[in-house]
Amino acid sequence: MDDLIADFVAESREMLEALGGEIVAWEANPDDRSRLDSIFRFVHTVKGNCGFFDFPRLEALSHAAEDALADVRAGRRQADGPLVSAVLAIIDRIGEMIGAIEAGEGIPDGDDSALFAALEPGAELTAVPVAAAVVEGAGRSAAPRTIRLSVELLDRVMSTVSDMVLARNELARRLRESSTEVSVDGAFERLSSIIAEMRDAITRTRMQRIENLFVALPRMVRDLSAELGKQVLVDIEGGDVELDREMIEMIRDPLTHIIRNAVDHGIEKPADRLKAGKREIGLLSVSARQSGNQILIDIHDDGRGIDGKKLVEKAISSGTLDKAGAAQLSPREQLALIFEAGLSTASEVTAISGRGVGMDVVRSNVERIGGIVEVDSRLGEGTRMTLRVPLTLTIIPALTVSIGSHHFAIPRSAIEEIVRANGESVTFDSLGGAGIATIRGRRVPEVALADILGLESQVREEDRNFVVLRPAGGDLYALAVDRIHDHEELVVKPAAPAVMATGLYAGTTLADDGSPILLFDPAGLAQVGGVKLETHERAARVAEGPAVDKAQTIQVLLFRALDGARRALRLAVVDRIEEVPAESIRKAAGQLRVQLGDSILPLAGVNADLPKDEKVRVFRLNDGTHEIGYAFREVIDLSAIERDVILSDNTGEVSGVTLIDGEPAELVDAHWLFANHVGLSARSGSRKLVCKLPSADSWMQNMLRPIVEAAGYRVVGDEYDGQPDLVIASQGEDAKTDSSGRKIVLRPEREGDDQESIYRYDRAGLLMALKAAGVGGGK
């Protein structure tokens, strides 16, 4: 409270000072509208603040002046000499009182009736205190303890200090490199500590008490609950926690939204509360506390709680969740559904909330500033929402990792955990070239940082480390890196547009050794790495559900094949289940194919006659690059392989047999399916020649690929296992060519004396070469 009063005094004094000239000018010319307005604003502000601080005498004074001035503004009254004098007298009195408050004396008792009387229309000009009192008051008080600065200036100081820290780091490095005298080191140490102190101080100038945010809450809750016919008691704690000014602005909307929700949906009407055996008055507590470099804001209500099952039903009916997935959700995950777009349990839309937009926006807003929002609720007992936000935006705690000699930083807020590839609870599966890591029973897509960046990894796969990341708005994935180094606090700045355009980076910074280092954007990494955050989200949850305590179980989908056999497919390769009319399956170009939407996929699993005049169910299998269909009769269940698999003697569609739920089931070998059916389609199916381009070369992929495709080739990447008809490589890069395959080498320079390579923008030459290779390969 003291701080607020100090703010009030500072603000009022500032306005009084600014008014000094206005008052005189107004006195000279009472018709001057703009002067009148600024004086009116002053008394109005004072009145507003006084009501808040319980200064009745000040309030009465400012109120009276405001009324009189409002009349003048509305044209009901003429600003004449006596009125001006009376208003001035009141302003003087306010100045005196503010002086008294500032001195800590409190408001002196006194009689203001003479002043009020002077304000009355037609009052005689009476002897009132003169303006000198203000001057005197200002002179009496000590020099002001606070000054007001523009935020821009503060930001500039802050950024200069950041630069200074970086400059200090560089100096430190140079000093380490050259042998220096002890006295120099000593002086440098002193400089370092001064800079550190300064940085702390300047960081604090940007800090504001979270009280600024909380102050408006009681009023908002009061208005809301009155409107809704509810009774809510607000309990606010931790208003003295300090937070970056910018951060306070960023969490204002999410916090408001959560509180509105709590009052609207959480807390019941008094009658309902009594029925439920609760006190009539609902309790809403908002508390803030600091925990490390995070601020935790808890919003807790003792209302009806969130019904997870209802949410699941909603999610299923709106199509965001399928039934099989829904059954596997843990209670916590059910609650987390409220952050999905378009879901709300409110049965009716109210003016306050419940339009089904909101919580997803809350989550994305919080995550955008590197924060997290969590929900916990017990049906009938209440809901707790927790916002975790970092203290500041400019200094980001990060983990440095490396691939070979390249160092990178990953924001720590996105890191879920770090595991070793050869750790006990970690296993890896490769599904058609795509990596899936199983970490304590949880399936997460895995990508190697080296592959994303096109760098050479110097560490064997089994010795790598995995950083499990949760990007904003997405689900977990594991990133394989060579080495993990240090935690560092980095001052991050945006990188140049050309660098940001890669989508991989969030900014650049200087590491302690003075070298530039790039900070990753975890969501961008996932995107470039081909991790489908949306589709994998549910699959990962499904895997997580019952499997948590059995690390070695493998989730499978148990189904009945067309011939009636019980078979199982690993869940991770099944993209989705489709139903197609029987006529969309036909033999074309050498094998059975199924039309699914706009694409035609090779179809496997047809080991009996297709049911005539009926819909055929088809699994859509995906290995990350290719899709194939697999026809079946019906799904039996989601299950897990818990027992040993008896491997089949011959390679084929079925890789083995095992007991699932007490009955034998054949395990379908997804690898074999893809190897046979995709291979077929590549060779004979489309009759297209295959051209292999380096996947990591963006020029090849973006510029060259369309030309090659237009020339009638099917373009594949490095991961292609078969034998391409044509390989295109950049000059100097080692490209493996098979004896039968042909090769085109591109050189970046126009000039070149060898006949082996083609200038890469020589379009005519390229097309000729493509054509020639096509004729050669087609023989």
Partner 1 sequence: MNELLLIVSIGEQRVALPAVAVESVVELDTLIPVPRAPPHVAGLSALRSRVLTVIDCLRSLELGVSDCSEGIREAAVVELDGHHYALIVDVVEDVVEALSDPSPVRAAMEAGWERASIGMVETETGPILLVDVAALISGAEARAA
Query: Is residue 177 within the footprint of partner 1 (CB under 8 A)?
Result: no
Residue closer to partner 1, measured from CB, 662 or 732? 732
Query: Is residue 485 within the footprint of partner 1 (CB under 8 A)?
Result: no
What amino acid is encoded at 615 in this protein? K
Q: How big is the chain by its Cα radius of gyration, in Å?
A: 36
CA atoms 361, 362, 367, 372: torsion sign: negative
CA atoms 455, 459, 462, 465: torsion sign: negative
- How many whole angstroms from its chain centre is CA 504? 15
Residue closer to partner 1, measured from CB, 549 or 754? 754
Minimum CB–partner distance for residue 29 and partner 1 (Å): 47
Residue closer to partner 1, measured from CB, 54 or 754? 754
Minimum CB–partner distance for residue 482 and partner 1 (Å): 14
CA 495/CA 505 separation, integer angstroms: 8
Per-residue mark of binding to partner 1, 405-444 (x: CB under 8 A): -xx-------------------------------------
Residue closer to partner 1, measured from CB, 119 or 504? 504
Query: Is residue 564 within the footprint of partner 1 (CB under 8 A)?
Result: no
Residue closer to partner 1, measured from CB, 222 or 763? 763
Which residue stretch of 226-234, 512-520, 546-554, 684-692 sits at the interface with partner 1 (rule: CB under 8 A)? 512-520
Q: How many Cα neighbours within 13 Å face the side chain of 324?
A: 17
Which whole-number Å values give the CA distances from 206 to 50, 209, 371, 669, in the listed order? 27, 10, 19, 60
Which residue stretch of 352-360, 490-498, 638-646, 661-669 sits at the interface with partner 1 (rule: CB under 8 A)? 490-498
Residue 370 makes CB contacts below 8 A (sequence gap 6+) with 389, 390, 393, 396, 411, 413
Residue closer to partner 1, measured from CB, 251 or 449? 449
Per-residue mark of binding to partner 1, 387-406 (x: CB under 8 A): -------------------x
- Residue 99 structure tokens: 């002086």
Residue closer to partner 1, measured from CB, 82 or 765? 765
Minimum CB–partner distance for residue 492 and partner 1 (Å): 10
Residue closer to partner 1, measured from CB, 90 or 517? 517
Minimum CB–partner distance for residue 718 and partner 1 (Å): 15
Residues 736-755 that bind partner 1 (CB under 8 A): 748-749
Query: Is residue 703 within the footprint of partner 1 (CB under 8 A)?
Result: yes
Beta strands in 309-431 (DSSP E): 372-378, 382-390, 395-403, 406-411, 415-420, 426-431
Minimum CB–partner distance for residue 478 and partner 1 (Å): 19
Residue closer to partner 1, measured from CB, 19 or 510? 510
CA 755/CA 753 separation, integer angstroms: 7
Which residue stretch of 164-172, 232-240, 242-250, 282-290 sits at the interface with partner 1 (rule: CB under 8 A)? 164-172
- DSSP state letter for 668: E
Residue closer to partner 1, measured from CB, 283 or 455? 455
Minimum CB–partner distance for residue 729 and partner 1 (Å): 16
Binding test (CB under 8 A) with partner 1, winner from 34, 78, 698, 740 = 698
CA atoms 137, 142, 143, 147: torsion sign: negative
Element (DSSP H or E) covering residue 288: strand 282-291
How many Cβ atoms from other residues are within 10 Å of residue 181's Cβ? 8
Q: Is 430 helix (H, G, I), strand (E, B) or coil?
A: strand
- DSSP state letter for 108: P
- How many whole angstroms from its chain centre is CA 410? 14
How many Cβ atoms from other residues are within 10 Å of residue 285's Cβ? 16
- DSSP state letter for 362: H
Cα angle 527, 528, 529 (rounded to 5 degrees) comes to 90
- Residue 655 structure tokens: 């890789």
Query: Is residue 452 within the footprint of partner 1 (CB under 8 A)?
Result: yes
Which residue stretch of 211-219, 262-270, 451-459, 586-594 sits at the interface with partner 1 (rule: CB under 8 A)? 451-459
8 Å CB contact between 274 and 231: no
673-711 residues labelled b (16+ CB within 10 A) or e (exposed)? bbbbbbeebbeebeebbbbbbbbebeebeeebbeebeeb
Minimum CB–partner distance for residue 442 and partner 1 (Å): 29
Which residue stretch of 214-222, 249-257, 516-524, 600-608 sits at the interface with partner 1 (rule: CB under 8 A)? 516-524
Query: Is residue 523 within the footprint of partner 1 (CB under 8 A)?
Result: no
Residue closer to partner 1, measured from CB, 64 or 495? 495
Query: Is residue 170 within the footprint of partner 1 (CB under 8 A)?
Result: yes
Binding test (CB under 8 A) with partner 1, winner from 21, 106, 186, 494 = 494
CA 553/CA 572 separation, integer angstroms: 13
Query: Is residue 493 within the footprint of partner 1 (CB under 8 A)?
Result: yes
Residue closer to partner 1, measured from CB, 37 or 163? 163
8 Å CB contact between 717 and 693: yes
585, 534, 525, 494: CA torsion to nearest 10: 140
Query: Is residue 729 within the footprint of partner 1 (CB under 8 A)?
Result: no
620-650 residues labelled b (16+ CB within 10 A) or e (exposed)? bbbbbebbbbbbbbeebebbbbeeeeeeeee
Beta pairing class for 591-596 and 726-730:
unpaired
Binding test (CB under 8 A) with partner 1, winner from 453, 481, 673, 678 = 453
Binding test (CB under 8 A) with partner 1, winner from 107, 166, 191, 393 = 166
Binding test (CB under 8 A) with partner 1, winner from 147, 351, 498, 764 = 498
Minimum CB–partner distance for residue 164 and partner 1 (Å): 8
Q: How many residues bind partner 1 (CB under 8 A)?
A: 38
Binding test (CB under 8 A) with partner 1, winner from 508, 622, 639, 681 = 508
Binding test (CB under 8 A) with partner 1, winner from 150, 179, 347, 702 = 702
Beta strands in 71-131 (DSSP E): none
Minimum CB–partner distance for residue 202 and partner 1 (Å): 17
Query: Is residue 481 within the footprint of partner 1 (CB under 8 A)?
Result: no
Query: Is residue 454 within the footprint of partner 1 (CB under 8 A)?
Result: yes
Query: Is residue 691 within the footprint of partner 1 (CB under 8 A)?
Result: no
Residues engaged in binding partner 1 (CB under 8 A): 163, 166-167, 169-170, 406-407, 452-455, 493-499, 501-502, 504-505, 508-510, 514-518, 528, 698-699, 702-703, 748-749, 761
